[in-house]
């Protein structure tokens, strides 16, 4: 290993944007695409578009967070196609993503199209200009022009999964063409997968008090097309899916600004010039929050993809619903991910309204150091909306307090019904009968910790989230006393500690006794919050340790029955919980765990949600961190390099990008427990680099390493 470069920084703390403005480099294509997998992201507010030019036509999918149907599939709004006569994009073609203003520019010989989404409202604009008057057709294409039966091979896109009832449909949208505009909407029925879930999980007695975000949900939009007039409908097929097109024609196109307003309410839409100006200003300010630059050849691709991926996250800055780990707003026709998945563009693995929290957390951790705390609210508020259901199910099943948040949780706060499993009469109905998920309760604690750190980083008002934090902690205190009293006469062990059994070390170490990941979570959240009014911290057991070839290591748990998955919870005390690591006691124990634990070694990987790149950086293992982070943030297999491969989930893999961002940040900047800053703690000293990142106490940190020498300045 390279010698660890420790630099404690005290003078290089900036309390504002003091350096020269940063301008990210545009990303440009000079040839057209072959299909939707070669699309480019564009978005804002909570809208995402996959944009590409194919056979001379400009196409883009439109997605918005929260477009859930009765089956809890996250549906796309539809696809737009622009055909301009004369094939102007056959020559002098370019398609450019301008990161600094968040827009996509498409140019050819005699025509150009500018696409952007307003940052502060879910409205899309397409500015079309031609050098001379010409004929053009603008089409809205929808595969939901008819009811489509969901096949057993498609069930992963929704919440039914393998419990799919016979004759389950994705119901048709209502699409109404008018002279120069088109409206569309999807109206959910009263009965949805929510109602089935409540009954299946034996919660009917409290159904009236449960939060239901999808019953009767209505969403849609209006497309206004100045200069275009409705012409006809036509049928076609794209990739594996038939569709119907509503075609609008302009016989003398010179300029037109098409507006796609994805709001159902009658709020007046913002004008294109105002939207363009304010959205461009927001994106420019977004890039001033934080940045990373390098001139080292081996690091350039990694840093470029960090930046492109951060743009993807920024496209859902202000959504009601968070960026999904399994593709976010930028999924495309599934056959281009997996040739056997010949389904509609609405398909993705692991559900639309279902959240795999173990994966989802990686999307939001990097927003602390990147200065994007305002973008974390959609994730925090999702837990806040789910909280009453998590509390109600706890009280109903077990008669005690606290909020039980499970893994594979629905957007209404109950376990996914298929993953919940089959229960015979008399079983514990509150526990999932699932080999991977049983007794896995602790993922919500990471989001509680993020909330607390968002306050330390950016002063986030945590008052609205105090009940969430309190109830999440309370569950463990009361539930494990409850379980102990089911087994014997004492709620605590002889040391006055909770016995966390049965428990789970992530999805991996099952039927675990005192898993280190859960213990570290409880200790850290309680300590960070500093409001231990019940003395719970004194009841949390110690992190279990064991010896491997004479060296002390963190144990996954005191004992366990089986290994079910390939996670490494024995390293969670390093990240996210930061009990061990650089500048902390017993670094050797954590390093021993990473380097000598045979289970940890067997699970090392840079694939998908794997976190070895983060742990290597947190432990100052520079060579290992360099290798893994380069692998993690290497170009994906699709044309846009930050559309990462599906990994364990779906493409583009958003939790892979989040884990990559975290790993790079940890290579560049870490803190000791008392807030001293460590610069470039796992960054190769020969890789020249400069950055601006955020730290606790509202600090904005800038630093540079050049030829192995670290310098800093303040302006």
Q: What is the pLDDT of residues 631-661, one digit of tens each?
A: 999 999 999 999 999 999 999 999 999 999 9
pLDDT higher than threshold 50 for residue 34: yes
Lowest mean pLDDT among 42-46, 172-176, 708-712: 708-712
Q: What is the pLDDT of residues 350-374, one digit of tens each?
A: 999 999 999 999 999 999 999 999 9
What's the CA gap between 325 and 209, in Å, rounded?
A: 29
User: Mean pLDDT across the stretch 328-346?
Assistant: 98
pLDDT higher than threshold 50 for residue 9: no
Residue 281 has a pLDDT of 98
Q: What is the pLDDT of residues 218-258, one digit of tens each?
A: 999 999 999 999 999 999 999 999 999 999 999 999 999 99
Residue 269 has a pLDDT of 79
pLDDT higher than threshold 70 for residue 6: no
Mean pLDDT of the chain: 95
Q: Which residue has the tokens 């009361």?
A: 478
Three-state DSSP at 422 gives coil
Q: Which residues contact 611 (CB under 8 A, 6 or more apart)?
A: 362, 568, 571, 575, 659, 662
What's the CA gap between 124 and 111, in Å, rounded?
A: 20
pLDDT higher than threshold 90 for residue 696: yes
Q: Which residues contact 372 (CB under 8 A, 6 or more apart)?
A: 286, 289, 290, 310, 313, 314, 317
pLDDT band for 2, please (50, 70, 90 cuts): very low
Considering the domain 31-288 in this protein, what is its CATH number?
Answer: 2.70.98.50
What's the CA gap between 432 and 406, in Å, rounded?
A: 8
Residue 503 has a pLDDT of 98
CB 170 within 8 A of CB 189: no
Q: Roughly how many angstroms between the first and final C-alpha of the chain, as a whole number? A: 36
Residue 383 has a pLDDT of 98
The H or E element that residue 390 is part of is: helix 377-398
Domain boundaries, the chain: 31-288, 356-566
- CA separation (Å) from 385 to 398, 412, 455, 580? 22, 8, 20, 33
Residue 568 Cα to chain centre, angstroms: 21
Q: What is the pLDDT of residues 379-424, one digit of tens each?
A: 999 999 999 999 999 999 999 999 999 999 999 999 999 999 999 9
Write down the pTM of the prediction: 0.96
More confident residue, 539 or 712: 539
pLDDT higher than threshold 50 for residue 15: no
Q: Which residue has the tokens 């999980």?
A: 201
Which residues lie across from 58 on neighbouring strands? 53, 82
CB 612 within 8 A of CB 620: no
Q: What is the pLDDT of residues 450-485, one digit of tens each?
A: 999 999 999 999 999 999 999 999 999 999 999 999
User: Mean pLDDT across the stretch 19-29?
Assistant: 92
What the block records as the tokens of 109 is 């010989």
What the block records as the tokens of 707 is 């030829």
φ and ψ of 155, to 5 deg: -65, -20
Residue 186 Cα to chain centre, angstroms: 25
User: Mean pLDDT across the stretch 171-184?
Assistant: 97
Query: What share of the chain in percent tops pLDDT 90?
Result: 96
CA pseudo-torsion sign 267, 271, 272, 278: negative
Nearest CA-CA partner of 486 in 443, 409, 430: 430
User: Mean pLDDT across the stretch 330-345?
Assistant: 98
What's the CA gap between 72 and 69, in Å, rounded?
A: 5
Alpha helix locations (H) across 503-569?
Answer: 516-529
Q: What is the pLDDT of residues 606-622, one digit of tens each?
A: 999 999 999 999 999 99
HEC readout, 164-204: CCCCCEECCCEEEECCCEEEEEEECCCCCHHHHHHHHCCCH
What's the CA gap between 205 and 199, in Å, rounded?
A: 9
CB 47 within 8 A of CB 62: yes
Nearest CA-CA partner of 449 in 525, 547, 539: 525
pLDDT higher than threshold 50 for residue 261: yes
pLDDT higher than threshold 90 for residue 105: yes
pLDDT band for 325, please (50, 70, 90 cuts): very high
What's the CA gap between 633 and 611, in Å, rounded?
A: 13
Nearest CA-CA partner of 245 in 187, 333, 182, 332: 182
pLDDT higher than threshold 70 for residue 592: yes
pLDDT band for 266, please (50, 70, 90 cuts): low
Residue 19 has a pLDDT of 53
What's the CA gap between 647 and 26, in Å, rounded?
A: 27
């Amino acid at each position: 290993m390279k010698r660890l470069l420790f630099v404690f920084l005290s003078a290089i703390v900036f309390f504002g944007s003091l350096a020269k403005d940063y301008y990210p480099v545009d990303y440009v294509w000079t040839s057209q695409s072959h299909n939707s997998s070669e699309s480019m992201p564009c978005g804002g507010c909570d809208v995402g578009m996959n944009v590409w030019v194919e056979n001379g036509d400009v196409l883009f999918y439109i997605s918005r967070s929260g477009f859930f149907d009765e089956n809890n599939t996250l549906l796309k709004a539809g696809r737009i196609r622009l055909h301009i006569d004369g094939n102007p994009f056959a020559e002098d073609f370019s398609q450019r993503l301008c990161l600094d203003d968040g827009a996509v520019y498409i140019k050819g010989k005699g025509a150009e199209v500018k696409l952007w989404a307003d940052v502060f409202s879910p409205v899309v604009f397409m500015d079309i200009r031609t050098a001379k008057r010409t004929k053009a057709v603008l089409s809205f294409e929808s595969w939901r022009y008819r009811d489509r039966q969901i096949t057993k091979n498609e069930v992963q896109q929704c919440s039914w999964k393998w419990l799919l009832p016979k004759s389950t449909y994705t119901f048709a949208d209502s699409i109404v063409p008018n002279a120069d505009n088109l409206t569309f909407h999807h109206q959910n029925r009263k009965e949805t997968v929510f109602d089935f879930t409540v009954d299946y999980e034996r919660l009917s007695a409290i159904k009236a008090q449960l939060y239901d975000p999808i019953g009767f949900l209505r969403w849609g939009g209006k497309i206004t097309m100045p200069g275009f007039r409705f012409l006809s409908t036509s049928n076609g097929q794209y990739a594996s899916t038939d569709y119907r097109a509503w075609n609008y024609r302009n016989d003398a196109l010179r300029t037109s600004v098409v507006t796609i307003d994805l709001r159902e309410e009658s709020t007046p839409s913002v004008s294109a010039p105002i939207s363009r100006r304010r959205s461009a200003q927001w994106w420019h300010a977004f890039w001033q929050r934080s940045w990373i630059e390098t001139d080292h050849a081996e690091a350039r691709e990694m840093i470029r993809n960090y930046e492109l991926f951060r743009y993807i996250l920024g496209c859902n800055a202000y959504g009601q619903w968070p960026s999904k780990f399994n593709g976010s707003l930028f999924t495309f026709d599934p056959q281009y991910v997996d040739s056997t998945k010949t389904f509609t563009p609405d398909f993705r693995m692991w559900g639309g309204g279902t959240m795999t929290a173990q994966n989802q957390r990686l999307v939001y951790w990097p927003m602390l150091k990147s200065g994007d705390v305002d973008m974390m609210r959609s994730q925090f508020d999702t837990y806040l909306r789910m909280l009453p259901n998590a509390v109600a199910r706890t009280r109903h099943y077990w008669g005690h307090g606290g909020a039980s948040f499970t893994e594979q949780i629905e957007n209404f706060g109950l376990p996914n019904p298929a993953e919940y499993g089959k229960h015979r009469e008399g079983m514990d109905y509150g526990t999932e009968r699932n080999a991977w998920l049983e007794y896995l309760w602790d993922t919500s604690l990471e989001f509680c910790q993020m909330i607390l750190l968002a306050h330390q980083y950016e002063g986030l008002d945590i008052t609205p989230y105090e009940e969430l934090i309190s109830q999440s902690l309370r569950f463990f205190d009361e539930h494990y006393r409850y379980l102990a009293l089911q087994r014997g006469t004492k709620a605590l062990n002889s040391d006055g500690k909770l016995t966390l059994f049965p428990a789970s070390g992530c999805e991996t170490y099952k039927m675990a006794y005192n898993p280190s990941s859960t213990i570290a979570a409880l200790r850290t959240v309680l300590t960070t919050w500093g409001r231990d009014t019940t003395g719970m911290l004194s009841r949390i057991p110690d992190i279990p340790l064991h010896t491997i070839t004479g060296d002390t290591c963190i144990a996954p748990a005191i004992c366990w029955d089986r290994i079910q998955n390939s996670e490494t919870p024995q390293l969670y005390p390093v990240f996210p919980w930061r009990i061990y690591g650089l500048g902390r006691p017993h670094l050797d124990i954590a390093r021993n765990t990473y380097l000598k634990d045979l289970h940890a070694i067997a699970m090392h990987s840079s694939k998908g949600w794997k976190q070895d790149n983060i742990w290597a950086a947190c432990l100052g293992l520079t060579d290992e961190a360099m290798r893994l982070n380069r692998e993690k943030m290497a170009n994906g297999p699709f044309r846009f390099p930050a559309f990462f491969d599906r990994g364990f989930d779906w493409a583009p893999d958003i939790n892979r990008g989040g884990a990559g961002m975290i790993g790079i940040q940890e290579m560049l900047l870490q803190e000791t427990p008392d807030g001293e800053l460590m610069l470039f703690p796992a960054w190769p000293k020969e890789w020249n680099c400069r950055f601006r990142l955020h730290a606790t106490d509202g600090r904005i940190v800038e630093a540079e390493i050049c030829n192995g020498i670290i310098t800093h300045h303040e302006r």
